[in-house]
């Protein structure tokens, strides 16, 4: 190439094109406008006012922990190990005033697991009702 | 009636209009007595309005880098304003390969005697390969 500057431009454009072509997948989840994203092989967990959402970069695991009874001063610890099936502890609400949070009296759990083949396992507890759901089966238990 | 007199009359009416609007405007009262009682609960020396804004940006850029951010905003004194506003916003980025980014933002504030507004927003991203991002946002209102 005769012009060195043109050659540099071509190199930069080629590199940019290669970089965008090899970009990894970024998986994101938005709950009430709060966004958490994971790239390939990465893990991200986000807890906003007691509601936790974890996203695995491979898309194989997604967990959501619903809000439970408020515990002032107590923070829920969520880490990558929770993706393997950590305890579903109730979490604290953003509002400490029990008078305005009637739902907090009900223990609530919401776990949504999906593997790369599209198989799902849903575990949901709302007060005295426990619901297990897979692709073919739904079990509801009322105490 | 001269042209000058008409202009003078129009200006007089226009200047009188805002005063009339103030007399009929203001906050619509539902149950005026109860709201007046709430206003009267404002202790001497306490502010009419209290606003708290807590914003954090945390990022782990390098390979195997670790970044941890903890922010706490707490209301001191026990004053309850008429209007309370609390904003919590966090950005947590784990961008480097095998990096780890952790962000914890907690806010405790008073409930307003008349009105309370909270706004919580988070963006959590683990983009690097084998990276982890953990974000906890807690926006709490006292009694």
Q: Note the pLDDT tens digit of each residue in B2-22.
A: 667 776 776 666 666 555 445
* Residues in chain B, overall count: 143
A35, A46, A95 member nearest B140 (Cβ): A95
- DSSP 8-class letter at B131: -
Q: Cα A118 vs. chain centroid, distance in angstroms?
A: 16
Residue A48 touches partner B, C-beta closer than 8 Å: yes
Residue A73 — φ and ψ, nearest 5°? 85, -5
Tell me what the pLDDT averaged over chain A comes to: 62
Q: Note the pLDDT tens digit of each residue in B18-75.
A: 554 455 555 666 666 677 888 888 888 889 999 999 999 999 999 999 999 999 998 8
Q: B124 forms bridges with which residues in the sheet?
A: A36, B92
- DSSP 8-class letter at B5: H
Q: What is the pLDDT of residue B3?
A: 64
> Rounded to a whole number, what is the distance in Å from the CA of A138 to chain B's nearest CA?
32
* Interface contact B125-A72, CB threshold 8 A: no
Most confident by average pLDDT, A115-124, B76-85, B109-118: B109-118
Residue B99 — φ and ψ, nearest 5°? -90, 165
Pairwise CA distance, residues B93 & B98, whole Å:
12
- What would the two tokens of residue A97 be? 């005033």
Compute the Cα dihedral for B42, B43, B48, B54 and give only its sign.
Answer: negative
Residues 16-55 of B with CB under 8 A from A: none
Which is more confident, B88 or A94? Answer: B88
Percent of chain A with pLDDT over 90: 6
Residue A74 touches partner B, C-beta closer than 8 Å: no
Pairwise CA distance, residues B52 & B103, whole Å:
19
* Interface contact B141-A94, CB threshold 8 A: yes
Pairwise CA distance, residues B38 & A16, whole Å:
62
- Give me the residue label for tokens 């209009």: B17
Residue A6 touches partner B, C-beta closer than 8 Å: no
Minimal-distance CA residue of chain B relative to A72: B140
Element (H, E) at B106: strand B100-109
ipTM score above 0.95: no
Taking a C-beta distance cutoff of 8 angstroms, is the pair A66, A104 a contact? no
Taking a C-beta distance cutoff of 8 angstroms, is the pair B93, B129 a contact? no
Residue B106 touches partner A, C-beta closer than 8 Å: yes
Residue A43 touches partner B, C-beta closer than 8 Å: yes
List chain B residues with CB under 8 Å of A48: 120, 122, 136-137
Q: A67 forms bridges with which residues in the sheet?
A: A91
Rounded alpha-carbon distances, angstroms, from residue B139 to A97, B63, B94, B105: 13, 32, 23, 8
Taking a C-beta distance cutoff of 8 angstroms, is the pair B113, B79 a contact? no
Q: What is the pLDDT of residue B42?
A: 86
A35, A75, A97 member nearest B143 (Cβ): A97
List chain A residues with CB under 8 Å of B137: 34, 46-49
- A107 pLDDT higher than 90: no
Q: Cα A104 vs. chain centroid, distance in angstroms?
A: 22
List chain B residues with CB under 8 Å of A35: 122-124
CB pairs under 8 A between A and B: 110
Residue A138 — φ and ψ, nearest 5°? -130, 125
Q: What is the pLDDT of residue B133?
A: 94
């Amino acid at each position: 190439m005769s012009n060195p500057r043109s050659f540099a431009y071509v190199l930069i454009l080629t590199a940019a094109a290669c970089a965008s072509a090899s970009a990894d997948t970024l998986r994101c989840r938005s709950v009430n406008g709060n966004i958490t994203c994971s790239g390939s092989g990465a893990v991200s967990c986000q807890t906003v006012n007691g509601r936790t959402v974890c996203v695995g970069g491979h898309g194989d695991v997604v967990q959501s922990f619903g809000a439970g009874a408020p515990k002032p001063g107590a923070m829920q610890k969520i880490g990558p190990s929770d993706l393997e099936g950590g305890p579903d502890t109730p979490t604290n609400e953003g509002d400490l005033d029990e008078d305005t949070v009637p739902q907090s009296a009900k223990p609530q759990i919401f776990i949504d697991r999906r593997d790369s083949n599209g198989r799902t396992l849903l575990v949901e507890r709302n007060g005295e009702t426990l619901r297990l759901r897979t692709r073919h089966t739904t079990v509801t238990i009322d105490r | 009636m001269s042209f000058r007199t008409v202009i003078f009359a129009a200006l007089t009416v226009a200047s009188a209009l805002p005063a009339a609007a103030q007399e009929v405007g203001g906050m619509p009262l539902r149950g005026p007595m109860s709201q007046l009682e709430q206003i009267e609960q404002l202790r001497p020396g306490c502010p009419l309005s209290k606003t708290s804004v807590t914003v954090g940006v945390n990022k782990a850029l390098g390979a195997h880098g670790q970044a941890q951010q903890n922010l706490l905003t707490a209301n001191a004194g026990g004053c309850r304003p008429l209007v309370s506003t609390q904003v919590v916003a966090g950005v947590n980025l784990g961008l480097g390969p095998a990096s780890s980014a952790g962000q914890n933002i907690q806010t405790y504030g008073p409930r307003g005697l008349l009105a309370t507004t909270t706004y919580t927003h988070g963006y959590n991203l683990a983009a690097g390969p084998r990276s982890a991002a953990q974000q906890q946002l807690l926006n709490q209102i006292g009694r």
